[in-house]
Chains A and B, each alone.
Chain A
């Protein structure tokens, strides 16, 4: 089971971890789970990349746009004010999925509810991921994810 498959829109995932810990790789997996077929590459230079998933609706008569994934990277930014200047805040309260790399650079900016994911390097081929839910919605999400991964 992939975490991306459990997302239903409006989620905010904050990634933190040093260079090379797999933030972009994690997002690639998340995108796959969301049904995104595009190549997800690092947004460091562009600051933001946008992807749209295939519609997951099973009912054929319903044509709806799939979820969008907004992939942010704050690596090049130093000041939370710049994020506001860039108009990024609007996305965080939208109905799509936002993933933010180097989120700790703007700690005071985040909405009350969000999911923190802390990545650490164990060895060249191993990483540890620490998930912390803030708010009921993300607590539920993690519970579902935990249930799905342990039962399969």
Chain B
């Protein structure tokens, strides 16, 4: 089954053609990150007007790259929530219109669910022979149910138990800032630029590589600053706003200590950093990243143990963070729990994941009418925790 997927829930505009929910024929994303960067770290234009002008070229490019005509396409899918109403409307309306014009089945996709299905997309593009029977059931290389999914992005930090296709049980979520948001805001506090996740990772790597080069432990960088971790024991919720504020106080401590008012943790570390030839900001970035990764990895491992799963999947933009991947691997492999995560390009918003999620729903006979409306506040279709 060949599905055309369309994504326009927030900043990105994307179109993709995916075969059998797993094999990417094309995946085009018009990202505005570059524009954001040029304007100095803040989003200048997230308006749906921008998406209106990019969506048709993006669609044409996706069809062209896949080298396929409309006769080959079996269904059209588009994100219908969660996201910004105006942005969602662009992709959903285009998707429904194309389905109507080509008399194809249409399916609206939950953006969050699609992030999880990015784990079904094959990273190395081994194109299957056309004779391969298409199947929504387990195929080699698929994640194995039941599984725990950690969704971490700018807008989300959620821990979800997934017993089977389409069933979700929310175990925990952020009570304030999402993990990706914390990365972005702290990168701004540290003057590291936008997007914050990659910027912090790069700065942290600089400190850690320098220490390795000096044959010292990377833990020296990761634990150089004592930062708070909100463990919220007894539940799977997260909180990152206190960590953000702690970083702010450290950065402020830097200016205070210049006046000789007090010798802060920041100043002491600054002296040490200079001795080691490492920028102090890199130590801060490394300690901050460690504080976030620590909480995310430990809570995910605890959930995996409680729910006795053999599979954990990562989803969302922060899933691209190499420290998080490595640390989770370290937590899970002694327990023989398999960790999978999408390719970096499939962690952030894209349309291939929309087409993948759509395939599994369409295979089960689901489809939406053309009266489907956008749902900006949509969440995963959570089932109640069974007592």
Contact = CB atoms under 8 A, between A and B. Distances in A.
Interface of A is mostly: loop
Given A19-B185, A25-B176, A39-B173, A78 B42 contact: yes
B376 A48 contact: yes
Interface stretch (B80-88, B199-207, B264-272, B277-285): B80-88
B241 A46 contact: no
B377 A25 contact: no
Interface in A44-82: 44-50, 75-79, 82
Contacts of B57: none
B189 interface: yes
Given A41-B177, A124-B249, A25 B241 contact: yes
Nearest to A77: B43
A148 B175 CA distance: 29
A124 B245 contact: yes
Nearest to A124: B249
Interface in A12-28: 18-20, 24-25, 28
Interface string B52-92: 00000000000000000000000000000011111000000
Dominant secondary structure at the B interface? loop
A82 B181 contact: no
A108 interface: no
Select the residue from B184, B249, B377 with max chain A CB neighbours within 10 A.
B377
B10 A87 contact: no
A46 B155 contact: yes
A20 B245 contact: yes
B154 interface: yes
Greatest chain B CB density within 10 A among A42, A49, A78 is at A42
A85 interface: yes
B46 A19 contact: no
Nearest to A82: B47
Contacts of B82: 46
A24 B181 contact: no
A77 to B, nearest CB: 7
B176 A77 contact: no
B48 interface: yes
Contacts of B248: 18-20
Interface of B: 10, 39, 42-49, 82-86, 153-155, 173-178, 180-181, 184-185, 188-189, 241, 244-245, 248-249, 376-377
Given A24-B176, A76-B46, A78-B42, 20 more contacts: A20-B241, A25-B241, A41-B175, A41-B176, A41-B177, A42-B176, A44-B154, A45-B181, A46-B82, A48-B84, A50-B376, A75-B42, A77-B42, A79-B44, A82-B46, A82-B47, A85-B48, A86-B46, A86-B84, A124-B249
